[in-house]
Amino acid sequence: MRRSADIADAVERAVAERALHPGDLLPTVRDLATDLGVAPGTVAAAYRALATRGIVAGRGRQGTRVTAGPPLPTRNPAAIPEGIRNLASGTPDPALLPPLGPALRRLRPTEVTWGDARPDLERWTVLARKRLDAAGYPDGRVLAVSGALDGVERVLLAHLRPGDRVAVEDPGFARVIDLVTALGLVPVPVAVDDVGIRPDAVAAVAGGLDALVLTPRAQNPFGAAVDEARADDLRRALAAHPDILIIEDDHAGPIAGADAHPVVTVERRRWAIVSSVSKSLGPDLRLAALSGDAVTIDRVEGRLRVGPGWVSHLLQSLVADLWTDARTTGRVQHAAATYTERRCALLDALATHDIVGHGRSGLNVWVPVPSEDLVLAGLQARGWAVSAGQRFRLRAEPAVRISIATLLPSESDHLAADLATVLRPTSGAATTV
């Protein structure tokens, strides 16, 4: 292997075939160059290409490691053994989603031809703008995109280039971190507490940032929700850096269990809000409202037109129907209340065992632990599957993520008691399994 492309392909193949696993440390550039008899620059170029594809990530003195979730079709979530209660998925409860059949039967498609199709449907656009206004988001033109992550990706591509630095929540949504890495951007971890990203952490890195991606509520995995005081503090921390692109990912919207308190304002030069419908209406409704400053929306729309052209008007019409259906509205409100009840029940149960849990909003509770692997094994031995925190964090301390989406309040006491048993020190061990 004399070319950087050959080296990169060999590493990618090893990851796809599971000869290399998430977290595995790659040789240093100098060591691999010596082993292969090539220049260090050749290996460095290969590692850069792998980082751009999201397969590896450089961690300074910690070296270059295979990422926890490289964007490869061969890497699927670990299977949950039969008989184990799955609290690892982090997805909504299917039983709380509204039925789509009645709306599909009412659907009257708009006739569209290739020459006159617009990126968005007027009725959907008006309704989407009203919902953004009701949530308190700043005024701006609305564009339909194919889900929250599609919107985030399109906005990043509209302004940034490989090597630019993007602040991400730590712990934060693994797919956002993977996306930033896959675009060749540099993720910069920013600490999170119960009311969102910390202003002091933002201020510490703002001077070198090109963009910031934040979750205003239902933050995954921490469950943070920005309140008005935190939004004010963040605006002050960012006021001296008007050129930083800010993207707010409101992926859960009406089922978050908390009001939105936007950080962005129309005074900022570059900003965007992405509000998805899939968490509240259904996983196959890959549609989100994207709003932002005029330049950002124009750039995204321009790229959309030369790519897919538009998001299906059938999909937009279906969502518009669901938004105006009183029964659907009632079901969404019921889902939000149910998730809040389930989340609070688990937090209360954990508190009775003096276990700290975080989850002001959303579908997950974040529990700091001394050892993720031991806790995962201990809970699985007792019939529970939860997520290791490793794939959600860059510098944050170890933790596990427990999805409450399907967790009945009656189950919370049992789960909390089992977790307390696993965490109980015995014979000097940090965790009993």
| pLDDT at residue number 17 | 84
Residue 285, judged by CB atoms within 10 A of its CB (0-12, 13-18, 19+), counts as buried
CA distance 395 to 90: 22
Q: Is the pLDDT of residue 411 over 70?
A: yes
Q: Higher pLDDT residue, 433 or 153?
A: 153
> Do 386 and 379 meet the contact criterion of CB atoms below 8 Å apart?
yes
> Do 392 and 221 meet the contact criterion of CB atoms below 8 Å apart?
yes
CA distance 254 to 333: 7
pLDDT bucket at 431, cuts 50 / 70 / 90:
very low
Q: What is the mean pLDDT of residues 284-292?
A: 96
> Do 218 and 257 meet the contact criterion of CB atoms below 8 Å apart?
yes
Beta strands 399-403 and 387-388: pairing type? Answer: antiparallel
CA distance 395 to 411: 32
Q: Top-level CATH class of 4-66?
A: mainly alpha
DSSP 8-state assignment for residue 68: S
> Do 258 and 218 meet the contact criterion of CB atoms below 8 Å apart?
yes
List Cβ neighbours of 387 (8 Å cut-off, separation of 6 or more). Answer: 88, 90, 221, 400, 401, 402, 403
Q: 305-335 pLDDT, tens per residue? A: 888 888 999 999 999 999 999 999 999 999 9
DSSP 8-state assignment for residue 397: P
Q: 360-404 pLDDT, tens per residue? A: 999 999 999 999 999 999 999 999 999 999 989 999 999 999 999
- The pTM for the full model equals 0.84
What percentage of the chain has pLDDT greater than the value 90?
75
Per CATH, the number for 85-95+328-423 is 3.90.1150.10
Q: Is the pLDDT of residue 217 over 90?
A: yes
How far does the chain reach from its first CA to its final CA, in angstroms?
45
Q: 197-210 pLDDT, tens per residue? A: 999 999 999 999 99
Instruction: Write down the architecture of domain 112-324 according to CATH.
Output: 3-Layer(aba) Sandwich (3.40)
What are the sequence ranges of the domains in the chain? Answer: 4-66, 85-95+328-423, 112-324
| pLDDT at residue number 60 | 64
- HSE-up of residue 54 (Cα within 13 Å, Cβ side): 17
pLDDT bucket at 429, cuts 50 / 70 / 90:
very low
The mean predicted confidence, pLDDT, of the chain is: 91
CB atoms within 10 A of CB 421: 16
Q: 81-137 pLDDT, tens per residue? A: 889 999 999 899 999 999 999 999 999 877 777 666 666 788 999 999 999 999 999
> Do 98 and 282 meet the contact criterion of CB atoms below 8 Å apart?
yes
